[in-house]
Copies of this chain bind each other. A is one copy, B any other.
Amino acid sequence: MSIPVELAELQVKTGEYTWAYLLTVRPEATPHLVSLSTSWHHDGEASALLMSVSAGTARNATAGSVVTLCYPPLNHDGYSLIVDGTASVHDGVAPAGIDAIPEGKALLRFTPTGAVLHRSAAPGFANSATGCANDCLPVDASTT
């Protein structure tokens, strides 16, 4: 379900959604999610998604090797945009254009490593071109 895409293409694609779920794993190996807004930040050559999270979510996100952003479809029958990546806490002052981080919150920096468009397969559907048993598409091949 994770297919590498050009970063520039992912930026266009995230612009078609409004908010995302951030999925992390708790220390006891159970799933956790929170809904939030993401903002692209470009720092020289690197591009990342920034988001404000609780201290607990920041700990979960930076303890694991991979975290996931899932943008639910605006059209309920549409595709979810699922993005895997790595996370780190952005220390210091929030970059220009990013709201100041409230006390008790952390600014998380998410670096995408792959993305896929996903929706449930219709009954009788076997496998998509991506090999996913659901109706997944590479990010460059569909609209929401």
Q: Which residues of A contact B (CB under 8 A)?
A: 18-19, 21, 23-25, 28-37, 54, 64-68, 70, 72-74, 76, 80, 82, 99, 102, 104-105, 118-120, 123-124, 133-134
Contacts and interface: CB of A to CB of B under 8 A. Distances in A.
A21 B65 contact: no
B99 A54 contact: no
B74 A33 contact: no
29 contacts: A18-B76, A19-B120, A21-B70, A23-B23, A23-B31, A23-B33, A24-B31, A25-B29, A25-B31, A28-B65, A29-B65, A30-B64, A30-B67, A30-B68, A31-B31, A31-B66, A31-B68, A33-B68, A33-B70, A33-B82, A34-B118, A35-B118, A35-B119, A35-B134, A37-B120, A54-B133, A72-B76, A99-B123, A105-B133
A14 to B, nearest CB: 15
Number of copies: 2
Which interface residue of A64, A76, A99 has the most chain B CB atoms within 10 A?
A76
B119 A80 contact: no
Contacts of A80: 21, 35
A85 to B, nearest CB: 11
